């Protein structure tokens, strides 16, 4: 069945232009209207009352969908949210948090159609995400802070996980490390298709193998206890290990605690590089962690601007963008044991 998005693509216009043509809420040139009507006929598209209702409603509210509210807003996530809220406010809009899961796509669609929000920002994106499919099929403006498996025609801003993980491995290799393990988010997140967990694992694996090194990757629950258990297993099974890359803030605290209990000095005997996090979180550890700072503030800002360009075509368009995390020195990374100096 053809959707409003299909009509927009066939006619070569934005979703909002199709909505304006259907509702009459804003002027559309005769030539543009003719292209839209031709596309509708070719595709057999029948606009429904709900779609027309959406186009005619006015709202200055933007909805930020963040499913993991039970974990609260940690320092790194707060950077995304604060920047998005500040940008929305500066652009004359309000940002509200909606804690809908990927299985609750119809609820998100219905609330927007009722005029509760002008558009949607999606966080915690899965590789195959029903929320994205539902919003796109309904012609509702949205932007992903993250990426689905297929991003064709899907507006998004995201971390460049391939570049980030390659930079992390390269930094440790330059310091003489050759046995480097990766501690990721949980098996549950992997099985749910959580895109960052999959992309980071693929990036780390490729970075290690491209340098002739053997990857050792673990999915670990987001808890200090799980972090302690994970590093205990690694020490038993990987006795040559000299460095850890972690992408799991809460588990990382357990990793540090277990190493300290075993009197394994950080960073002299074991280096820890925490990625997709923030220096503020890294400073909570002793010693302060070396981090690769998540570009949350910039992605939050760009996500709002991109969404507003979907809502209002008079605004300048913003490109899809991937931004890598940047290294922030701490005191948890050093030259590999037994190495005379950085190589």
pLDDT one-digit tens code per residue, 271-298: 999 999 988 889 999 999 999 999 999 9
> Looking at residues 251-263, what average pLDDT do you find?
96
Place of tokens 């009509």: 7
Q: Which residue has the higher pLDDT, 122 or 103?
A: 122
Query: What pLDDT does residue 191 have?
Result: 94
CATH architecture of the domain 161-294 equals 3-Layer(aba) Sandwich (3.40)
Place of tokens 């394994």: 264
What are the domain boundaries of the chain?
4-50, 59-159+296-324, 161-294
Residue 49 has pLDDT above 60, yes or no: no
Q: pTM for the full model?
A: 0.80
Q: Which residue has the higher pLDDT, 182 or 110?
A: 182
Predicted confidence (pLDDT) per residue in 159-196, tens digit: 999 999 999 999 999 999 999 999 999 999 999 999 99
Which of 42-56, 111-125, 269-283, 298-312 is predicted least confidently?
42-56
| Contact assessment for residue 310 and residue 13, using Cβ atoms and an 8 Å cutoff | no
| Confidence bin at 29 (pLDDT 50/70/90) | confident
| Confidence bin at 51 (pLDDT 50/70/90) | low
Predicted confidence (pLDDT) per residue in 75-90, tens digit: 678 889 999 999 999 9
Distance (Å, whole) CA 13 – CA 275: 39
As a three-state string, the secondary structure of the chain is CCCHHHHHHHHCCCHHHHHHHHHCCCCCCHHHHHHHHHHHHHHCCCCCHHHHHHHHCCCCEEEEECCCHHHCCCHHHHHHHHHHHHHHHHCCCEEEEECCCHHHHHHHHHHHHCCCCCEEEECCCECCCHHHHHHHHHCCCEEEECCCCCCCCCCEEEECHHHHHHHHHHHHHHCCCCCEEEEECCHHHHHCCEHHHHHHHHHHHHHHHHCCCCCEEEECCCCHHHHHHHHHHHHHHCCCCCEEEECCHHHHHHHHHHHHHCCCCCCCCCEEEEEEECHHHHCCCCCCCEEEECCHHHHHHHHHHHHHHHHCCCCCCCCCEEECCEEECCCCCCCCCCCCCCC
Distance (Å, whole) CA 147 – CA 199: 10
Query: What pLDDT does residue 14 have?
Result: 83
Residue 323 bridge partners (DSSP): 159
Contacts of 227 (CB under 8 A, 6+ apart): 183, 220, 248, 250, 251, 252, 253, 254, 255, 257, 258
For 196, the token pair is 């960052």
Residue 206 has pLDDT above 90, yes or no: yes
CATH number, domain 4-50: 1.10.260.40
Query: What pLDDT does residue 59 have?
Result: 72
| Confidence bin at 312 (pLDDT 50/70/90) | confident
| Confidence bin at 72 (pLDDT 50/70/90) | low
Mean pLDDT of the chain: 89
CATH number, domain 59-159+296-324: 3.40.50.2300
Residue 53 has pLDDT above 60, yes or no: no
Query: What pLDDT does residue 7 have?
Result: 87
Order across the sheet with 61-65: list the strands: 94-98, 61-65, 119-122, 142-145, 156-159, 321-323
> Looking at residues 131-149, what average pLDDT do you find?
93
| Confidence bin at 1 (pLDDT 50/70/90) | low
Neighbours of 25 (CB within 10 A): 15
Distance (Å, whole) CA 68 – CA 47: 35
- Angle 4-11/30-43 helices, nearest 10 degrees? 120
- Angle 15-23/4-11 helices, nearest 10 degrees? 110
Share of the chain above pLDDT 70, in %: 91
Q: Residue 230: is it exposed, middle or buried by C-beta count within 10 angstroms (0-12/13-18/19+)?
A: buried
Q: Which residue has the higher pLDDT, 340 or 245?
A: 245
- Domains 59-159+296-324 and 161-294 are alike in CATH topology: yes
Q: Which residue has the higher pLDDT, 47 or 322?
A: 322
| Confidence bin at 68 (pLDDT 50/70/90) | low
| Confidence bin at 245 (pLDDT 50/70/90) | very high
Query: What pLDDT does residue 41 have?
Result: 87
| Contact assessment for residue 323 and residue 293, using Cβ atoms and an 8 Å cutoff | no
Residue 96 has pLDDT above 50, yes or no: yes
Distance (Å, whole) CA 312 – CA 93: 13
């Amino acid at each position: 069945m053809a959707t409003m998005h299909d009509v927009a693509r066939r006619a070569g216009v934005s979703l909002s232009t199709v909505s304006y043509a259907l509702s009459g809420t804003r002027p559309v040139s005769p030539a543009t209207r003719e292209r839209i009507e031709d596309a509708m006929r070719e595709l057999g598209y029948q606009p429904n009352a709900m779609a027309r209702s959406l186009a005619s409603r006015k709202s200055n509210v933007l909805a930020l969908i963040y499913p993991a509210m039970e974990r609260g807003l940690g320092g790194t996530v707060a950077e995304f949210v604060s920047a998005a809220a500040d940008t929305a406010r500066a652009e004359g809009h309000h940002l509200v948090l909606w804690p809908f899961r990927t299985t609750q796509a119809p609820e998100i669609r219905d609330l927007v159609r009722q005029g509760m929000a002008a558009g949607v920002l999606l966080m915690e994106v899965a590789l195959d995400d029903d929320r994205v499919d539902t919003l796109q099929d309904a012609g509702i403006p949205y932007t992903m802070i993250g990426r689905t498996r297929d991003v064709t025609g899907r507006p998004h801003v995201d971390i460049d996980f391939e570049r980030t993980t390659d930079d992390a491995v390269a930094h440790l290799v330059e310091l003489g490390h050759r046995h480097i393990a990766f501690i990721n988010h949980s098996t549950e997140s992997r099985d749910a298709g959580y895109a960052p967990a999959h992309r980071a694992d693929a990036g780390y694996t490729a970075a290690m193998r491209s340098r002739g090194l053997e990857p050792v990757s673990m999915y670990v629950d987001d808890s200090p206890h799980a972090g302690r258990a994970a590093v205990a297993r690694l020490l038993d099974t990987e006795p040559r290990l000299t460095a850890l890359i972690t992408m799991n803030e809460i588990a990382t605290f357990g990793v540090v605690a277990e190493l300290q209990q075993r009197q394994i000095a950080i960073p002299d005997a074991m280096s820890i590089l925490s990625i997709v996090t923030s220096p503020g979180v890294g400073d909570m550890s002793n010693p302060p962690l070396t981090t690769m700072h998540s570009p949350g503030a910039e992605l939050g800002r760009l996500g709002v601007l991109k969404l507003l360009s979907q809502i209002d075509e008079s605004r300048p368009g913003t490109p899809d963008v991937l931004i890598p995390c940047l290294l922030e020195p701490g005191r948890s990374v050093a030259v590999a044991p037994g190495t005379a100096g950085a190589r």
